[in-house]
Structure 1
Amino acid sequence: MHVDAIYAPDLSTRYKLPIFLGRLPAGFPSPADDYIEGKLDLNRKLIKHPAATFFVKVTGNSMLGAGIHNGDLLVVDKSLEAVDGNVIVASLDGELTVKRLYKRDNVLRLLPDNKDYQPIEIQAQQSFEIWGVVTNVIHAL
């Protein structure tokens, strides 16, 4: 999975929309006004560290098992320390990619979440940098 575009969040906007909590059946509609719990601003919900957060649009299918699809937007926090098992955005030999980090016993790999793709073992001579940890995925249904 490759990074197609990089975006900075626009934190100047505030859209506080109603949030409905509780059970929401998928059957017949009910009067939802009785269930309004408050207002929700997705900037506040999805972005924990505004100065360290960016969005990336991805292409490819190597992370389908992680719920990341071709064309999705990822919320990436560069202030978080990447640990084994995190989904990360990394630069490998100048190319940005999204993979799951494998970091154990002096072995560093980038793992796809799709059996059709092979893991990438990071070699000492390669240029490698972790850009951030993926915290959320945004995609249309």
Structure 2
Amino acid sequence: MANQTLDDTDLQILQCLIDNSLRSHKEIGQLVHLSGQAVGARVRRLHDLGVIDGYTLRWNPDKIGQTVHAFVTVFMKSNTAHTAFLSFARSRPEIIEVHRVSGEGCYWMRVRLSGGGALNALLDEVLAYGNYKLSLSIEMVK
């Protein structure tokens, strides 16, 4: 287990990167009392261990016109529809996430679109694979 090879300093470095992944190794080093080179070596090790598997960017989709944020539960119409549906979902940039789920539905999708018309068009395409249930996000609270 990777956590067994991590010490408190590794966890502090990880938290610094979670808080702001643009921080330099030198800046992080000042916070955790290491040199920038030592922080760089630890960050590379965290990558090698799979603890860090990438970096991301927080952005404001509303500022570029993606004002509709929706969650779609998809119910496949047949067992043979899964492969085609996944190919469809992977090809669509407005589909931000797709999760295979247990319980209600087969997949949960998180989508970002420019408006009701774009959402309607996407949902019409989903009907080729099965039915859906739609929930619109009113406000992101965390």
Q: Which bin holds the TM-score, normalised by the shorter protein? A: under 0.3
Higher helix fraction (1 or 2): 2
TM-score of the pair, normalised by structure 2: 0.25
Higher strand fraction (1 or 2): 1
Find the structure with the greater CA-based Rg.
Answer: 2
